[in-house]
Amino acid sequence: MKLEVIILAAGQGTRMRSELPKVLHPLASRPLLAHVLETARTLAPLRMHVVVGHGAEQVKEALDAPDITWVLQAEQLGTGHAVLQAMPQVDSDSTVLVLYGDVPLLKPETLAQLTEQAPALLTADLDDPGGYGRVLRDDSGQLQGVVEHKDATEQQRVIAEINTGVLAYPAALLKDYLPRVGNANAQGEYYLPDVLSMAVEAGHCVAALRADSADEVMGINDRSQLAEAETLYRAQQAQALMAAGVSLADPARIDVRGTLECGRDVFIDVNCVFEGRVVLEDGVTVGPNCVLRHCRVGAGSTVHAMSHIDEAELADGCSVGPYARLRSGTHLATGARIGNFVETKKTTIGAGSKVNHLSYVGDATLGKGVNVGAGTITCNYDGINKHPTKLGDEVFIGSNSTLVAPLDVGDGGFVAAGSTVTREIPGDTLAVSRAKQRNIEGWKTPKQRAAADADQ
């Protein structure tokens, strides 16, 4: 079966009360339309056609990709009219799946089942179906068509089964029926579901597939629904992680805004945020209130509370935090340790090396077994260029040291606490660079001097 997907994304979304097109509003940090596109791609369609209108250029700029064909609906005259704009680019011998850019929680398996039954409509049962089109069935349960809420009789409005708008349909039939859809209804629009009753009248059997949950077919029309979808999405991600063997301290307090791949026996504490692609290997522990973005954490490593890891890579058995920040380009070798209130950037830290307290290390390479004392700073930026610092194996940097790059410290080099180092240190050498200490006897503080002057 050749499958082509048409995604309707032309609406303004006035109830969002925003300058941003509705389909670009973020769900888990990605536009609503991006979620729909991702789901559609799992079906391996021949082509994806996205119908845009309001904010068309903005939508295209945000989500353009080689597998998307953009279709402009200059006037928003209804869903039937929107699909009709894409049909000239659709092969007549394909099956068309119609999706919506503001319905982001559909499951691939639901859509796969729907396309296998084309022509078919996806429906759902709602406790409160008000405002939705109702599905009409005959006495044998066979679908006969859809009536919009404003056009429905009181008896029809009692029906709980609603039209989700998602349907799979042979392209040849759509090309035949869509030009004949009229707009003699309360909205004065060309309704896509009218092609269902037209198919029934022509003797075709139209399937009606009920979604497993109304949550799956939820459309986003305002900020409240967007927040509700965010909650549902987080719950789905949490359930999937636990099903894969991940332990969550509280499934309601994890936020996955990308892809999170976990090995065996991973533990994630509360209020952690994962952005982009994050990989946690076997036995990783992530403490509370951490943010991990585009990173890999090696087996047996621990990320302690309140730490941020951004575009970094940790080997096995590492320890980070609490309150640490690993920025882009940080690489930790096996057993490396980053302690509290430490920031790193574009730095490689060798096996077993430690930067434990209140330090900044940037544009640096640390060998094996290095110890960086508290309050150490690599001065890597001269106002124009960044310069490297290289510490060899078994280097010891005393507390409160300032390492002015470019700088090399050879294997076994030692920097005394409180030193400002500006020149190369050969291996197995101690560097001391401090101002000479003076002790001034009888020293009085400004407050003491002021009091003495007042007594006089």
Query: How confident is the model over 211-270, as pLDDT tens digits?
Result: 999 999 999 999 999 999 999 999 999 999 999 999 999 999 999 999 999 999 999 999
Q: In whole angstroms, what is the distance from residue 328 CA to residue 344 CA?
A: 8
Q: In whole angstroms, what is the distance from residue 203 CA to residue 180 CA?
A: 17
- b/e for 49-58, b at 16 or more Cβ within 10 A? bbbbbbbbee
Dihedral sign for Cα atoms in the order 161, 150, 24, 68: positive
- What's the Rg (C-alpha) of the chain? 31
pLDDT of residue 133: 87
Structure tokens at 393: 């194996």
Domains 3-217 and 223-431 share a fold: no
Q: Which residues contact 288 (CB under 8 A, 6 or more apart)?
A: 249, 269, 270, 271, 272, 305, 306
Q: Which of 445, 444, 422 is nearest to 433 (CA)?
A: 422
Percentage of the chain modeled with pLDDT above 70: 100
pLDDT of residue 207: 92
What does the mean pLDDT of the chain come to? 94
Check 149, 294, 357, 387 and give the catalytic one. 357
Structure tokens at 219: 């459309």
Query: How confident is the model over 350-376, as pLDDT tens digits?
Result: 999 999 999 999 999 999 999 999 999
| Range of weakest confidence among 106-120, 158-172, 440-454 | 440-454
The CATH class that applies to domain 3-217 reads alpha beta
pLDDT of residue 188: 82
Inform me whether the pLDDT recorded for 43 exceeds 90: yes
Q: In whole angstroms, what is the distance from residue 216 CA to residue 199 CA?
A: 26
pLDDT of residue 23: 96
pTM above 0.95, yes or no: no
pLDDT of residue 429: 96
CB atoms within 10 A of CB 441: 4
Q: Give the domain ranges of the chain.
A: 3-217, 223-431
8-state DSSP, 436:
P
Indicate if 357 belongs to the active site.
Answer: yes
pLDDT average, residue stretch 262-289: 97
Q: Check: CB of residue 97 under 8 Å from CB of residue 43.
A: yes
Report the topology of domain 223-431. UDP N-Acetylglucosamine Acyltransferase; domain 1 (2.160.10)
Q: Rounded to the nearest 10 degrees, how much is the dihedral formed by the CA atoms of 173, 179, 182, 188?
A: 120
DSSP H helical segments within 105-213, as ranges?
A: 108-116, 154-157, 171-177, 194-201
pLDDT of residue 321: 95
Inform me whether the pLDDT recorded for 100 exceeds 90: yes
| Range of weakest confidence among 185-194, 269-278, 334-343 | 185-194
Q: Check: CB of residue 252 under 8 Å from CB of residue 270.
A: no
| Range of weakest confidence among 188-192, 306-310, 326-330 | 188-192
